[in-house]
Amino acid sequence: MKKYLNISFIYAVAAMAGGVFYREFTKYSSYTGVTALGKIHTHLFLLGMLVFLVVALYAAHNDLQKIKMFRGFLWTYNLGVSLTAAMLLVRGVIQVAGMEISGAVDASISGFAGIGHILTGTGIVLLLLSLKKAAKDEELNHK
């Protein structure tokens, strides 16, 4: 349980840092439009901190680490959320700085962001399947 609370804490700190960066960078740049930077804060709070708080609560009653799918969730999900947040950062800095980028660079950013979303979605499926298996195992142990 402590491991998942620590992961949740790391995501919370990253979310706060992302929010401060968004506010200060746009203010410094006198940018008033909509930017991808504004989404980093909420993505990391909800997909990072909140998900791992729920996982920690569930782990208090189940040994999730013994489920192979759950270990896959940890790697896949954390990689997906991190990659998604990184691409939001890259896209947002480019938007705020007003940089001209080539179509290939734009497509690459979108592609990596898409991979991050796919990994995050796959991680969610692995988590739900893991929780379902843990519930089934607990049900069998209590009969």
Q: Cβ–Cβ contacts within 10 Å for residue 76, how many?
A: 21
Rounded Cα distance between 133 and 116, Å, is 25
52 vs 32: CA distance, rounded Å: 33
Q: At what angle do helices 51-59 and 103-141 cross, to 10 degrees?
A: 20
pTM summary value = 0.91
pLDDT means per 10 residues in the chain (143 residues)?
A: 96 98 96 95 97 95 91 97 98 96 96 98 97 88 71
Structural domains of the chain, count: 1
Q: Given this model, what pLDDT does residue 139 score?
A: 79
Q: Is the dihedral of CA 53, 54, 57, 61 positive or negative?
A: negative
pLDDT at 143: 65
- Number of Cβ atoms within 10 Å of the Cβ of 141: 7
CB contact at 8 A, 109 and 84: no
- What range does the domain containing 48 cover? 2-141
Contacts of 50 (CB under 8 A, 6+ apart): 8
Listed in sequence order, the DSSP H helices in 29-102 are: 37-43, 51-59, 68-97
